[in-house]
Structures are given as structure tokens and as C-alpha cells.
A and B are shown apart, each in its own frame.
Chain A
Amino acid sequence: AQSVTQPDIHITVSEGASLELRCNYSYGATPYLFWYVQSPGQGLQLLLKYFSGDTLVQGIKGFEAEFKRSQSSFNLRKPSVHWSDAAEYFCAVGAGTGGFKTIFGAGTRLFVKA
């Protein structure tokens, strides 16, 4: 069965520092992969997605993620974190035809310190 693991429950980084959030998935075929962000009091918003092609995908707000098939990973990165990036981040894998049944990881909460 497909699953998503986000090993870090929470991460704290200093403003301006780089960020990497880890995500590992389990799925038998090439998955559809997503990162969503949930800011305090806000709904979930898609940051980026991967379906095929270039394994490095760019998203909104300066985020990028790299799909590594050999490691079953889809880690999210940002070179310089801003205080407004403090939020909960969810990795997700879409299974089935068109990736419709989506399984979410437990989330990683990002804290940004001044």
C-alpha cells in the first residue's frame, strides 16, 4: 500500500538560512508527488508537484523539490527562509488513475527564528 513518511515532526531554522524538509514515499509505480503548505489560519495550498520529466521541480514562494527514484524521496528545499514561511508542510503521493487518491504525510511544522 502507498504511504508517505515525513521523518521530522518539527524543524526550526533561522531566518535567511537554508531549509530542507524530508519526504519518503512508498508506491509501486511512478507516483504523482506534491508538497502542500498550511499556514496558521489558512487553508492548504499547493507549493509544487511532480509527475514526470525533470526531477527538479520549482514551485511558488521560492521552493523547489527533487524527486529521487532510487531513494523514494521527494525533499523540499528553499535556499533562504523568510519568517513568513513558518507553517505546516505536507508531502503527498497521488495514487491510482491520474493520481486521484492522495495520501498525505503527517506533516512537518517549520518554525523560523529571527
Chain B
Amino acid sequence: GAGVSQSPSNKVTEKGKDVELRCDPISGHTALYWYRQSLGQGLEFLIYFQGNSAPDKSGLPSDRFSAERTGGSVSTLTIQRTQQEDSAVYLCASSFDAGSGGEQYFGPGTRLTVT
């Protein structure tokens, strides 16, 4: 079956511009996560959605970052007024609600470069 997909795969933007990153989770997965991976770094948790519950936004680094998940499926991560330090690979993952213990399936990521 189809895995987690993300678009675009690469995004180059100028400092100060807004960007939107998209994630299509695996069908039927109720949990969706966003992470940021900077060069040579581990995964930094940003936000996760679980079913119809309020999202856990505790990892968002500033109010320039926001995310939404429409219809319990597709998610969009928006970064406003991008800064050079926002350059990173943004990874999306999804997991099934029950029985998996949170095993996550990752997308290929979106590489964001802010110039």
C-alpha cells in the first residue's frame, strides 16, 4: 500500500516568505507527527495530531510555526516569515491508533532551504 507522502520534496525560499509543507499519511492512521531534522542533528518533535483530540503543539519553536490537519487526514505545516535557521528537513510520520504502541511510518521529508 501507499506510504506517507510529503510535498514538495525540496523547497527553496527567500527569508521572510511564508511556506506550506504538505503531508499525506497512510490511510487509516489516526496519529500524525511533524519533526524537524537539522543538518547532523536528531529529530526535533514539533507537533502531533491524534484523532479528533486537540493537537500537542508543545514542540513548535515559535509562533511562526503552525499546523493543521483537515478531515483527520492531510496535514499542512506552515512557517511564516521564514528565517535562515528554519532550513532543515521536515519529516512527517503517521501511526495507527491501536496496538502499534506508536510505531511510526515516516515520509521522505521536505528539504527546506531559506536563502
Contacts and interface: CB of A to CB of B under 8 A. Distances in A.
A43 B109 contact: yes
What is the predominant secondary structure among interface residues of chain A facing chain B?
Answer: strand
Contacts of B61: none
Interface in A76-96: 90, 94
Contacts, number: 53
Contact of A94 (B42, B102, B106): B102
- Leading 10 A-B pairs by shortest Cβ distance: A99-B102, A106-B42, A104-B43, A94-B102, A44-B106, A43-B106, A51-B101, A32-B101, A107-B42, A100-B102
Interface of B: 31, 33, 35, 41-43, 45, 48, 50, 56, 91, 93, 95, 97-98, 101-109
15 contacts: A43-B106, A44-B43, A44-B93, A46-B103, A51-B101, A90-B42, A94-B102, A98-B97, A98-B102, A100-B50, A100-B102, A102-B102, A103-B45, A105-B42, A107-B42
